């Protein structure tokens, strides 16, 4: 059996193009909704020096770390300047009005 889905927030509480921190099992994870039900879940911890990405700037699908401007694609987690470095990205599911992720 695969890992369980963990409910993190009601779907209608996630505003489009905002970045929302959730902490399932004590892990800092950012939820980002693009259009409609297109939702991404990425780690809040920058792989450079660990800054929280929550206060970073989101432009399109690119999130820029507030500390030293590393840029990441929220769809893949890839660091744009070197894709061998990446953020953790988690699968997202929406069911019965609830957003769940798999760690
Ligand atoms: S900690 Fe994110 S770019 Fe340095």
Q: Enumerate the domain spans of the chain.
A: 6-101
Contacts of 16 (CB under 8 A, 6+ apart): 33, 34, 35
Distance CA 30, CA 23 (A): 9
Separation of 4 CA from ligand 1 center, angstroms?
31
pLDDT tens, position by position, for the chain (103 residues)? Answer: 688 999 999 999 999 988 999 999 999 999 999 987 799 999 999 999 999 999 999 999 999 999 999 999 999 999 999 989 999 999 999 999 999 999 9
CATH number (2.102.10.10, 3.40.50.1220, 3.40.190.10, 3.30.830.10) of 6-101 reads 2.102.10.10
90 CB under 6 A from ligand 1?
Answer: no
């Amino acid at each position: 059996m695969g890992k369980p889905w963990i409910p993190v927030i009601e779907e209608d509480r996630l505003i489009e193009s905002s970045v929302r921190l959730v902490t399932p099992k004590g892990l800092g994870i950012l939820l980002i909704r693009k259009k409609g039900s297109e939702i991404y879940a990425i780690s809040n911890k920058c792989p450079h020096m660990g800054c929280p990405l929550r206060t970073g700037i989101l432009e399109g699908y690119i999130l820029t770390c507030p500390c030293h401007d590393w840029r990441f694609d929220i769809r893949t987690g890839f660091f744009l300047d070197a894709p061998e470095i990446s953020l953790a990205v988690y699968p997202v599911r929406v069911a019965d009005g609830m957003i769940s992720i798999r760690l």
